[in-house]
Structure 1
Amino acid sequence: MKILKDKISKHIRDNSILYIIIIMSFMIGIASGAFTINTINDIQKENMMKYINNFYDIFGHTNLNPIQVFKQSVLNSFETTFILWLLGATIIGIPFIFFVIGVRGFLLGFSIGFLISELRFKGIIFTIAAILPQNMLILISIFFIAVTCINFSLYILKNRRFSVSDLFSQFITYTLIIYTAFAVMILGGVIESYITPSILYFLKDIIK
């Protein structure tokens, strides 16, 4: 455990600048998503509130299928992981990695911002109960994946004269690291599909 902790600490220290830039990209995305709420009209807000109210009604009278929720969560995480992995395998992919992180932040910022803007206290409770738990693991994994992808892309850029065998070896290591981090994202899917619904059911009288 201590060895793992030391390796994680070293990784963060060695890539502190990259993590700062990635987190800044994510925060810019969150801010943009939150501010976008002010640009949507009342009809759009009303339609979105109908969707949320329908979710409450379905949740209150129907048992959610955790397997389906889990599959969708894993699929969403895999799509993000695959895109980042693919971008990291190219020399020109680095700007697009920051863009993907920003888009992820935008979607999260818009969702949380809308809930809090329209539901106030209930929106805060819903965010804490239904959005943050799984996203903590998922976002940590995405940040780690993004840093790994950028480092691999920089490695290709700096070592353009490497042999095919060296490139293949590094690519295999790169892929294993990426999809090991993806396994952590799957844990986020487990929380979303099996734990979050129980929390929401317990709080349904508060957030409805």
Structure 2
Amino acid sequence: MPGRRGGLLRRYWIKTLRAGWLLYLLVLAVFSLGLVCGALNIDFLPPGGMASLHDYLSAFLKEAGGGQVDTGQLARQVMYDKLYFMTALYLAGLTVIGIPVVLVLVFLRGFALGFTVAFLSRDLALQGLFLAAVAIMPQNLLFLPALFVGAVAALTFALLLFPRRSGMGGKIWGSLVRYTGIMVAVVAVALGAGLVEIYLSPWLTRILAGMIIPR
């Protein structure tokens, strides 16, 4: 079943990339804007905010280096976050007014990633970039393609809903079935990214944390 879902997602991505490259370009542009805004926002943090984040990072590295991360709690939080985000994306695609919501979700994901990487590089310099590479990027190699496919699928279906013409009922229902199937595959890939975040990234972080001494 995961293999079939992965194949469905891959075929859909190739097909929509050819037919809807403008939507992919839009999603990529919004995500990139979020990345840039998140990275730039680090300059507007008050000194107290930077200090609090530094203390949090130091505590996290000590826990990770000592293998004290609660895997059960992490698993619940990560899987909940992935399901919540993808469910919100799916529901937003069911209405025309959800189109800006889809774009906002994409922007926020880019913002969070850009802010996190910028903070790590600012606080730990080159070591921060290495930390971002092992703690953040592995799961995003799966999650970001799923995000782009899911966002384009949501936008594509939402755009079908206006203007409604007579005789389009069957087309809409057929498109809804395909849209739902694609989002199920997207959720499966997102949960796979969650597994990477739960088991692989902490292991890599534990190895690197032993070599990082926060300032």
Q: TM-score, normalised by structure 1?
A: 0.90
Q: Give how far 1:91 is off.
A: 1.3
Alignment of 1:63-142 (within 5 A): 63-142=68-147
Q: Which is further off, 90-99 or 106-115?
A: 90-99
- Rounded to whole Å, the distance in 2 between the matches of 1:4 and 1:145 is 9
**1:36 aligns with one of 41, 51, 63:** 41
The answer on whether the counterparts of 2:8 and 2:182 sit within 8 Å (CA) in structure 1 is no
Residue 201 in 1 paired to residue 206 in 2?
Answer: yes
Q: Which is further off, 84-93 or 7-16?
A: 7-16
- Rounded to whole Å, the distance in 2 between the matches of 1:2 and 1:138 is 16
The answer on whether the counterparts of 2:8 and 2:185 sit within 8 Å (CA) in structure 1 is no
Letter in 2 for 1:56: L
- Rounded to whole Å, the distance in 2 between the matches of 1:165 and 1:153 is 16
Q: Give how far 1:14 is off.
A: 1.1
Number of residue-to-residue matches in the alignment: 208
- Rounded to whole Å, the distance in 1 between the matches of 2:12 and 2:170 is 27
- Rounded to whole Å, the distance in 1 between the matches of 2:9 and 2:135 is 30
| Percent of residue pairs bearing the same amino acid type | 27
Residue 17 of structure 1: aligned partner: 22
Q: Give how far 1:86 is off.
A: 1.0
Q: Give how far 1:169 is off.
A: 4.1
The answer on whether the counterparts of 1:122 and 1:206 sit within 8 Å (CA) in structure 2 is no
Residue 138 to residue 5, structure 1, CA distance change in 2 (3 Å): closer
**2:53 aligns with one of 41, 48, 51:** 48
Residue 185 of structure 1: aligned partner: 190
Structure 1 residues 76-111: Cα deviation after superposition (integer angstroms, max 9, x where no partner): 111111111111100121122111111111111111
Q: Which is further off, 56-65 or 142-151?
A: 56-65
RMSD of aligned alpha carbons: 2.2
Residue 3 of structure 2: aligned partner: none
Q: Which structure 1 segments of 5+ residues have no match? A: none
The answer on whether the counterparts of 1:141 and 1:184 sit within 8 Å (CA) in structure 2 is yes
The answer on whether the counterparts of 2:142 and 2:193 sit within 8 Å (CA) in structure 1 is yes
Divergent runs of 4+, >3 A: 1-8, 158-170
Residue 57 in 1 paired to residue 62 in 2?
Answer: yes
Q: TM-score, normalised by structure 2?
A: 0.88
Q: Which is further off, 72-81 or 109-118?
A: 72-81
